[in-house]
């Protein structure tokens, strides 16, 4: 068990990407099984959101290396608020408290992305998806990827979170974020129960409703308690949710990714025709 954990902590980027790919693929298949007739539209939607990965993923992997470096440094020199606490090395504080604090700070980050105009211009690309499903998770402007990781490095620097808790936090965040964006939902009763502590698709889909005040509600990342504590929690029936952004409801934000997708398809079509011509010769 210790060897598995050591390997897990020694290969954070490999773990993060592999876990992300596995959970995303699994939820995508579940969504398809629940609505098999929607496959052509779903493939088109997946391809569109997949364009964002081309620019965001390299930035994410590169900046995660820097974030881990900051975490290693704070651990080595004992820098950060956690080291001001008595018995800071106890697992309950070192892992449990730091996990909760990082989740609170992610709530602060998410709310900031909505309230600060220049940040919102990047974040609205995520919200402009009018057909929310698990692939909406990867629909992130590269500018937001950079900003998000800068915030994470700041939080780690201030708190002194260890590499171990950072890896555990990012792994849990990966699972919950993908699940909360999926088109699956819990039954109403169970959704209410689970959402007392955790963010669920039932809660997060309200956050993707196209108009205010719903767009500025339900900011929670893993835990929903912050929305309850700060008065930003709201429920809304699924039938009343219309995904998108009020100012971009006609799909204006899709223009660039659609153009890139068209070029990619044209490139592959051109190569396919060239291979066909060579084979006929």
Domain span including residue 44: 2-184
Exposure b/e, 79-88, CB count within 10 A at least 16 = b: ebebeeeeeb
Secondary structure (DSSP) of 13-75: HHHHHHHHHHHHHHHHHHHHHHSGGGHHHHHHHHHHHHHHHHHHHHHHHHHHHHHHHHHHHHH
246 part of a folded domain:
no
Q: What share of the chain is helix, strand, coil (3-state, %, to 5)?
A: 75, 0, 25
97 part of a folded domain:
yes
253 part of a folded domain:
no
Cis peptide bond upstream of 213, omega within 30: yes
- Predicted local confidence at residue 277, as pLDDT: 46
For residue 272, the cross-strand partners are none
- The three-class DSSP label of residue 89 is coil
| Total number of domains constituting the chain | 1
Give burial (CB, 10 Å; 0-12/13-18/19+) of 57: middle
DSSP state, 136? G
55 part of a folded domain:
yes
For residue range 179-236, list pLDDT tens digits in order.
Answer: 999 998 888 888 889 999 999 999 999 999 999 899 999 999 999 999 999 999 999 9
> Strand ranges (DSSP E) for the chain?
none
Distance CA 241, CA 130 (A): 10
Cα of first residue to Cα of last residue in the chain, in angstroms, is 58
- The three-class DSSP label of residue 78 is coil
What tokens were used for 166?
């950072």
- Predicted local confidence at residue 256, as pLDDT: 74
Residues in the chain: 281
What tokens were used for 154?
């700041």
54 part of a folded domain:
yes
For residue range 130-177, list pLDDT tens digits in order.
Answer: 999 999 999 999 999 999 999 999 999 999 999 989 988 988 999 999
221 part of a folded domain:
no
For residue range 79-129, list pLDDT tens digits in order.
Answer: 999 999 998 889 899 899 999 999 999 999 999 999 999 999 999 999 999
222 part of a folded domain:
no
179 part of a folded domain:
yes
- Whether the predicted pLDDT of 260 surpasses 90: no
Distance CA 33, CA 267 (A): 31
Distance CA 154, CA 105 (A): 10
- Whether the predicted pLDDT of 59 surpasses 60: yes
Q: How far is CA 71 from CA 6, 67, 77, 236, in A?
A: 16, 6, 10, 39
Q: Are 148 and 64 in contact (CB under 8 A)?
A: no
């Amino acid at each position: 068990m210790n060897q598995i954990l050591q390997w897990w902590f020694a290969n954070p980027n490999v773990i993060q990407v592999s876990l992300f790919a596995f959970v995303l693929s699994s939820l995508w298949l579940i969504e398809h099984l629940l609505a098999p007739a929607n496959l052509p539209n779903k493939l088109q939607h997946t391809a569109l959101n997949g364009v964002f990965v081309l620019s965001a993923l390299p930035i994410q992997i590169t900046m995660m290396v820097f974030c881990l470096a900051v975490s290693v440094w704070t651990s080595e020199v004992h820098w950060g608020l956690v080291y001001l606490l008595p018995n800071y090395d106890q697992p309950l504080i070192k892992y449990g408290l730091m996990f909760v604090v990082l989740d609170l700070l992610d709530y602060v980050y998410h709310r900031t992305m909505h309230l600060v105009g220049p940040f919102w211009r990047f974040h609205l690309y995520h919200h402009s998806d009018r057909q929310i499903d698990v692939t909406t998770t990867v629909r992130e402007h590269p500018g937001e990827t950079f900003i998000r990781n800068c915030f994470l490095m700041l939080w780690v620097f201030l708190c002194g979170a260890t590499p171990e808790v950072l890896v555990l936090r990012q792994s849990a965040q990966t699972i919950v974020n993908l699940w909360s964006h999926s088109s699956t939902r819990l039954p109403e009763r169970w959704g209410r129960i689970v959402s007392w502590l955790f963010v669920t698709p039932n809660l997060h889909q309200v956050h993707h409703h196209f108009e205010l005040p719903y767009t500025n509600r339900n900011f929670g990342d893993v835990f929903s308690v912050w929305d309850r504590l700060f008065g930003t929690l709201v429920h809304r029936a699924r039938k009343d949710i219309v995904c998108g952004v009020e100012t971009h409801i006609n799909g204006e934000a899709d223009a660039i990714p659609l153009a890139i997708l068209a070029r990619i398809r044209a490139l592959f079509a051109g190569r396919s025709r060239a291979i066909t011509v060579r084979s006929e010769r």
